[in-house]
Chain A
Amino acid sequence: MTHPSDALSALLDGALPPAEAAEIERHLAGCAECRTEHDALGAVRAAVRSLPLLDPPARALTPAPEGRERGRHHVFGWAASGMAAAALGIGLVWGPGQPDTAVDLDTLADRHTARVVVDPGISTLRGPLAGR
């Protein structure tokens, strides 16, 4: 027979009819090249199957609210954080005992907000990691 190709993965998954599985196994017994391929695919399969099952955050185990505009709450949440950070920054700059400093409030706030909107990945990198 010719080399079995995708039947090797199906054999590993127990997804072949018995007659075909027996035929592939006979081929493997006499074909070192296919045995190597079979073993390598088996190692890949085992590696993916060994990925740990992660626990979802508790909030994930309730249905999404009806009509929720999905996918934006993280951005808004972190935009709010950006504004809070901007306000904190202003407080530090203008705190008691500090020399008067020219601060363009609009620019400062815009920069913080823009960073979150333009780079939404920040919510992924720094967002709540409940369940992890």
Chain B
Amino acid sequence: MSDVSVPTWEEVARDHGRTIYNFAYRLTGNPDEAGDLVQEVLLRVRRGLATYTPGSFEGWLWRITRNAFLDEVRRRKRRATVPFPEDDRGHQGTSPEPAEVLAEVRLSRDVQAALLRLPYDFREAVVLCDVVGLTYDEIAEAVGIPVGTVRSRIHRGRRQLREWLT
């Protein structure tokens, strides 16, 4: 995506906040860390917009997001990350649920748990591709690696997930 106009941080929050949150949540399994990450990214976006040169906004934003995420991980490396017992659909009650809903929630949990087991490089590539929806070129730009490496990481990540999920 090549934008001519420069968005405000409020527009970034509105248009990308949810995606950034889900990126961090799927990488960590931790809602608090994901929320902090969005705030940190928005802070860096607000600082960075002053010097932003219109170009590939997605590449710029996801480079910032990834760097903020890695900084956050480094800051917290002494703190244990406890995978959150996920309830993606917000079901809190004890009333019986239709079987297909329960099956979906279980699948979500299994997929999230498998993602958290992946080596970071593979997990990041898979999440940027399948959760964030970036193209291979955009991932290469955000992560700073050749497209061929993106392709290899996504494939190896999926193969590993396949092993664990079947």
Show the binding face of A for B, using Cβ within 8 Å: 5-10, 13, 15, 40-41, 43-45, 47-57, 59-66, 70-71, 74, 119-121, 123-125, 127, 129, 131-132
Contact = CB atoms under 8 A, between A and B. Distances in A.
A21 to B, nearest CB: 13
What are the 5 A-B residue pairs with the smallest beta carbon separation, nearest first?
A: A56-B21, A6-B155, A121-B82, A9-B155, A64-B39
Contacts, number: 144
Interface of B: 9, 13-14, 17-22, 25-26, 30-32, 34-36, 38-40, 42-43, 45-46, 72, 75-76, 79-82, 84-85, 87-90, 104, 107-108, 111-112, 115, 126-127, 129-131, 135-136, 151-152, 154-156, 158-159, 161-162, 165-166
Contacts of B155: 5-6, 8-10, 41
A124 B126 CA distance: 24
A7 B152 CA distance: 9
B88 A52 contact: yes
Given A52-B108, A124-B32, 12 more contacts: A5-B155, A9-B155, A13-B129, A44-B158, A54-B18, A56-B17, A61-B13, A123-B32, A125-B82, A129-B31, A131-B31, A131-B35
